[in-house]
């Protein structure tokens, strides 16, 4: 290419979408595109969409409308829409936004560069929606964001039929990668400087269903423990119905598997769980937590909860509050139920009025905020090794602090020291807030390979126009941003 085109990927939704966006960026750079710099109008804007979050469609079409005059003013600019909304709406996107150039689905993200070129040459929109997975995403090129932590997809799709969820119809049935392929990817990442990986799946602990090994996930965790240089292993999100004791044992007995568990509850009412087609009950959920804490007393547990599911009564909601109080979650991602077209719940009787949902939501948040604060206060005086994250950190008045994650994934702000993103700072917790800890008593700083990789990247000269970076860089999972279905 004599003049390389620039790109921007905008991501909405769960960690699976974040992981897919790394692949989309890698594909574009492999095809010769260069990432647009901050403030620069990209030649190609890609929307990787979500169909689960509330008002997802309004957000997409609002953004597309905003880009229309910009595209009219920039000759040759292209817009592509992919992800779950594209899989669901397909031709509807071009009807509502005919200035879009490419629409592609969740099963064929590898087609994006070809579709963009076809649209450019033919001067007409290209729509390609596959009904089944074309290429497992992890086999595609990747452009990751930072050098110390990475997502590793072990499966895609979902075999459950939760009545509130549209994911199975958009992502398809569960497809599992072979263990050897997963472990080879992890080893490659570690060789590039990665210290932490998060194993990713819609229902990560059902891994192995496709090749008939129900103990495969626990075995995979243990195998990760044998990879030299891999310091932290996490996973998200497991389904309570499939959560087995061998996974608990693997977590407890594998030193680099973190004592952290994100496991969706959704509701504490057995009646509501049945209506949701969640194949467990509150007693089973609490039993799992009891067994986890029996062998890992320091485990931090988080969850997802939906408030106001159709038919939910005040008594049902009180049962949810009871389970929340008993569970002692470190934090919870709470959602107000809203209708998703195409799901069984959308046409159920007993849709709860918006004002009732809002009031219950506020009560739930208040209860969980108090629990989170109490649980964080219990961390006071603990000495934690914090993996420093990229970014400026936190400023309290004149005090600048670095930010990172403890082994249990709590957000920690540590006193400013000479540490790079990817380095480890060991410090004593001196203050607790509901959503973070402060650790101002620094014990030590450990420079790491990940910090070296970050420093090398920061000192590298920028790629000139017309040259693709082609970097297999490593993305940092966003532990609090969004969660996969489970």
Q: Per-residue pLDDT for 321 more than 60? A: yes
Q: Phi-psi region for residue 316, left (φ > 0), alpha (ψ -120 to 50) or beta?
A: alpha
Query: How high is the pLDDT of residue 57?
Result: 74
What is the Cα–Cα distance from 33 to 349, expressed in whole angstroms?
50
Residue 269, pLDDT above cutoff 80: yes
Q: How confident is the model at residue 252 (pLDDT cuts 50, 70, 90)?
A: very high
pLDDT band at 364 (very low <50, low <70, confident <90, very high): very high
Q: Please, what CATH class does the domain formed by 383-448 belong to?
A: mainly beta
* Cβ-contact 247, 221 below 8 angstroms: yes
Give the DSSP H or E segment for 47.
strand 44-49
The answer, yes or no, to whether residue 217 has pLDDT greater than 90, is yes
pLDDT category of residue 16 using cuts at 50, 70 and 90: confident
Residue 202: predicted pLDDT: 86
For residue 235, the model assigns a pLDDT of 97
Half-sphere exposure of 101 (CA within 13 A, CB side): 26
> Reduced to 3 states, what is the DSSP secondary structure of residue 474?
coil
Q: What is the pLDDT of residues 126-155, one digit of tens each?
A: 998 887 776 676 667 777 776 899 989 999
Question: What is the H or E stretch that residue 248 is in?
Answer: helix 245-253
What pLDDT does 12 receive?
A: 83
Domain ranges within the chain, ordered by starting residue: 6-128, 144-377, 383-448
Q: How far is CA 213 from CA 52, 205, 207, 222, 433, in A?
A: 30, 11, 8, 15, 42
Task: Tell me which H or E stretch contains 198.
Answer: strand 196-200
Residue range 418-468, pLDDT digits in tens? 999 999 999 999 999 999 999 999 999 999 999 999 998 888 765 444 333
Averaged over 29-47, what is the pLDDT?
Answer: 91
Whole-angstrom Cα distance, residue 432 to residue 224? 32
Residue 313 pLDDT > 50, yes or no? yes
Residue 395 has pLDDT above 60, yes or no: no
Lowest mean pLDDT among 99-108, 161-170, 232-241: 161-170
User: Is the pLDDT assigned to residue 97 strictly greater than 90?
Assistant: yes
Q: Residue 347 — very low, low, confident or very high, per pLDDT cuts 50/70/90?
A: very high
Neighbours of 74 (CB within 10 A): 13
Rounded to an integer, what distance in angstroms lies between the CA atom of residue 357 and that of residue 344?
19
What does the DSSP 8-state code read for residue 257? B
Q: What is the 3-state secondary structure (H, E, C) of 129-197?
A: CCCCCCCCHHHCCCCCCCCCEEEEECEECCCCCCCCCCHHHHHCCCEECCHHHHHHHHHHHHHCCCCEE
Query: Highest-confidence range of 7-21, 37-51, 240-254, by mean pLDDT?
Result: 240-254
* DSSP letters spanning 71-128: HHHSTT-EEEEEEHHHHHHTHHHHHH-TT--EEE-TT-GGGHHHHHHHHHHHTS-EEE
Assess whether pLDDT exceeds 80 at residue 391: no
pLDDT of residue 478: 36
Looking at every residue in the chain, the average pLDDT score rounds to: 88
Question: Cα–Cα distance between 421 and 203 in angstroms, integer?
Answer: 30
Using the predicted structure, report yes or no on whether residue 55 has a pLDDT greater than 70. no
pLDDT band at 483 (very low <50, low <70, confident <90, very high): very low
Is the pLDDT confidence value at 10 over 50?
yes
CATH class, domain 144-377, is alpha beta
Instruction: State the CATH architecture for 6-128.
Output: 3-Layer(aba) Sandwich (3.40)
User: Which comes out higher in pLDDT, residue 457 or 330?
Assistant: 330
Q: Is residue 207 predicted with pLDDT exceeding 90?
A: yes
Q: Read off the pLDDT band of 233 (50, 70, 90).
A: very high
Of 47, 41, 37, 42, the C-alpha closest to 10 is 47
Q: How many CB atoms lie within 10 A of CB 165?
A: 22
Contact status, residue 150 vs residue 194, Cβ threshold 8 Å = yes
Helix (H) or strand (E) holding 441: strand 441-446
Name the residue with higher pLDDT: 167 or 112: 112
The pLDDT assigned to 461 comes to 63
Whole-number pLDDT of residue 462:
56
Q: Report how far Cα 88 is from the mean position of its chain's Cα atoms.
A: 20
CB 217 within 8 A of CB 249: no
Strands 126-128 and 431-432: unpaired
Of 15-29, 192-206, 371-385, give the range with the top mean pLDDT.
Answer: 371-385
Average pLDDT over residues 184-208: 94
pLDDT of 469 reads 34
Q: Which of 173-182, 255-264, 427-436 has the lowest mean pLDDT?
A: 173-182
Question: What pLDDT is recorded for position 53?
Answer: 65
- Distance set, CA 263 to CA 181, 236, 267, 384, 434 (Å): 26, 8, 12, 23, 20
The better pLDDT of the pair 133, 233 is held by 233
pLDDT in the model for residue 472: 33
């Amino acid at each position: 290419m004599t003049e390389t085109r620039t790109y921007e990927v905008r991501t909405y939704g769960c960690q699976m979408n974040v992981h897919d966006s790394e692949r989309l960026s890698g594909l574009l750079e492999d095809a010769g595109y260069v990432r647009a710099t901050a403030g620069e109008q990209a030649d190609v804007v890609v929307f990787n969409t979500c169909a689960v979050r509330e008002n997802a469609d309004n957000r997409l079409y609002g953004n597309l409308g905003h880009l229309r005059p910009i595209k009219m003013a920039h000759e040759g600019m292209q817009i592509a829409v992919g992800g779950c909304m594209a899989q669901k709406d397909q031709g509807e996107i071009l009807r509502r936004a005919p200035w879009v150039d490419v629409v592609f689905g969740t099963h064929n993200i590898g087609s994006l560069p070809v579709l963009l070129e076809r649209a450019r040459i033919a001067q007409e929109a290209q729509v390609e929606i596959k009904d089944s997975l074309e290429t497992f995403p992890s086999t595609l090129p990747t452009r990751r964001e930072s050098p110390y932590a990475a997502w590793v997809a072990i499966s895609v799709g979902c075999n459950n039929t939760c009545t509130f969820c549209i994911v199975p119809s958009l992502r398809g049935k569960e497809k599992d990668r072979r263990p050897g392929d997963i472990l080879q990817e992890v080893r490659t990442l570690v060789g590039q400087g990665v210290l932490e990986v998060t194993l990713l799946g819609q229902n990560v602990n059902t891994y192995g269903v496709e090749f008939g090994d129900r103990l495969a996930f626990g075995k995979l965790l243990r195998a990760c423990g044998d990879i030299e240089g891999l310091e932290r292993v996490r996973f998200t999100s497991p389904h309570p119905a499939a959560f087995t004791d061998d996974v608990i044992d693997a977590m407890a007995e594998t030193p680099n598997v973190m004592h952290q568990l994100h496991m969706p509850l959704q509701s504490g009412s057995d009646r509501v769980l049945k209506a949701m087609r969640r194949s467990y009950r509150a007693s089973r959920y609490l039993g799992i937590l009891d067994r986890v804490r029996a062998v890992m007393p320091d485990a931090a547990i988080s969850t997802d909860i939906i408030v106001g599911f159709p038919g939910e009564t005040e008594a049902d909601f009180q049962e949810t509050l009871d389970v929340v109080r008993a569970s002692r979650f470190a934090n919870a991602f709470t959602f107000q139920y809203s209708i998703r077209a195409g799901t069984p719940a959308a046409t159920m009787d007993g849709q709860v009025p918006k004002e009732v949902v809002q009031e219950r939501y506020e009560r739930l948040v208040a209860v969980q905020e108090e629990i989170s604060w109490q649980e964080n206060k219990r961390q006071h005086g603990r000495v934690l090794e914090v993996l420093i994250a990229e970014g400026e950190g936190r400023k309290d008045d004149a005090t600048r602090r670095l930010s990172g994650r403890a082994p249990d994934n709590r957000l920690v702000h540590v006193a400013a020291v000479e540490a790079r993103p990817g380095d480890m700072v060991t410090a004593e917790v001196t203050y607790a807030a509901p959503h973070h800890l402060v650790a101002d008593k620094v014990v030590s700083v450990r420079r790491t390979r990940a910090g070296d990789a970050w420093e090398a990247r920061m000192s590298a000269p920028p790629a000139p126009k017309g040259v693709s970076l082609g970097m297999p860089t490593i993305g940092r999972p966003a532990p609090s941003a969004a969660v996969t279905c489970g």
